[in-house]
Amino acid sequence: MAALRGVNISIKDLTHRYNPKCPLTFDKVNIEAEPGESLIIIGRSGCGKSTLLHIVAGLLKTTSGTLHLNNEAVQGPSPRWVMMFQAPHLFPWMTVERNVGVGLYFAGWSKAKAKERVDEAISLVGLEEYALKNTQDLSGGQQQRVALARSLVMEPELLLLDEPFSALDAFTRTALQKDVRSIAKKMGFNLLMVTHDIDEAVLMADRALIMAGSPGKIMHDINIDIPDPRDRADPEVQRMRKDLMQSFHEASHAPMDSSSNTQMSSSG
């Protein structure tokens, strides 16, 4: 696969409401990112993280404010910015290979050319041995790897992830956190990921954005300058985890426009 480049993300005063009768989902969100940066948004359930990600993916329209990727206003979905969800949404009766290649098939790629890309993507996520298996015969973690390969095959400039590992067991999750970060760094694309797991942010992010409130706002933007590979047991990782936890609590208890943010929830 060709070396990829990332995007410059510029989000200015992005505001959203689902309909005129709804309160604002989030208010004046500003995010800037350099090509290749991994940004992770942490926040409690209901603060608007998924909505924000859907807007960046071009799947939802903003109410006001602007969103540019490499100075281009996002008008809709594109293979250049690909979204990965919590559930992998695979075709269970198809092989890993066919699932991974489905985007190239729809883009009209020749079989031979597609095969080369597909093989590379499958090897990046470590599923070479499973290429010819049906995805219904794979574990949850392996299925999520297939979904990842299917995103990589499109050579995205930006990979958007909405709590992609929250349904997985701890070991599988740790392995995927490591691999997604190292693949993103190796290929140079940006990550914009949502989680409610502070450890995940410390292990995967270049910057953690803490979102809180109702309507949601970005309350903190924290640099995570820890060398790779990152290990949970590393004192530096532990220290950063503590800092993030503190900022997270500060943000959650800051005075807000509404009282709904005071509820503690463990899931996003």
Ligand X SMILES: Nc1ncnc2c1ncn2[C@@H]1O[C@H](COP(=O)(O)OP(=O)(O)O)[C@@H](O)[C@H]1O
Which parts of this chain interact with ligand X (CB under 6 A)? 18, 22, 25, 43, 45-51, 268
User: Which regions of the chain does DSSP assign to beta strands (E)?
Assistant: 9-16, 26-33, 38-42, 64-69, 72-73, 81-84, 158-162, 190-195, 207-212, 217-223
Q: Contact between 50 and Mg ion (CB under 5 A)? A: yes
Given a contact cutoff of 8 angstroms between Cβ atoms, the answer to whether 47 and 214 are in contact is: yes
Closer CB to ligand X, 25 or 135, in the complex: 25
Q: How far is the CB of 161 from ligand X (least distance, A)?
A: 12
Measured from the CB atom, the residue of 41 and 114 that comes closer to ligand X is: 41
What is the smallest separation between the CB atom of 4 and ligand X, expressed in angstroms? 27
> Binds 51, which of Mg ion, ligand X, none (CB < 5 to 8 A, cut-off by type)?
ligand X
**Contact residue for Mg ion among 103, 156, 216, 268 (CB under 5 A):** 268
58 contacts Mg ion (rule: CB under 5 A) = no
Closest separation in Å from C-beta 160 to ligand X: 13
Least separation in angstroms between residue 266's CB and Mg ion is 13
Type of residue at 119: D
Nearer to ligand X, 50 or 99 (CB): 50
Minimum separation from the CB atom of position 60 to ligand X (A): 9
Question: Each residue of 207-235: b (16+ CB within 10 Å) or e?
Answer: bbbbbbbbbbbbbbebebebeeebeeeee
Stretch that binds Mg ion, among 57-65, 136-144, 198-206, 260-268 (CB under 5 A): 260-268
Cα distance between residue 216 and residue 261, in whole Å: 9
Between the alpha carbon of residue 200 and those of residues 49, 57, 193, the distances in Å are 16, 22, 10
Backbone angles phi, psi at 36, to 5 degrees: 90, -5
Tell me the CA distances in angstroms from 218 to 32, 34, 51, 213, 246, one per residue in order: 12, 18, 14, 9, 15
Question: Which option in ligand X, Mg ion, none does residue 233 bind, with CB closer than 5 to 8 A by kind?
Answer: none
By CB under 5 A, which span of 45-53, 78-86, 142-150, 171-179 interacts with Mg ion?
Answer: 45-53
- Give whichever of 26 and 81 is closer to ligand X, judged by the CB atom: 26
Nearest of 81, 100, 99 to residue 91 by alpha carbon = 99
Residues that bind Mg ion (CB under 5 A): 50, 268
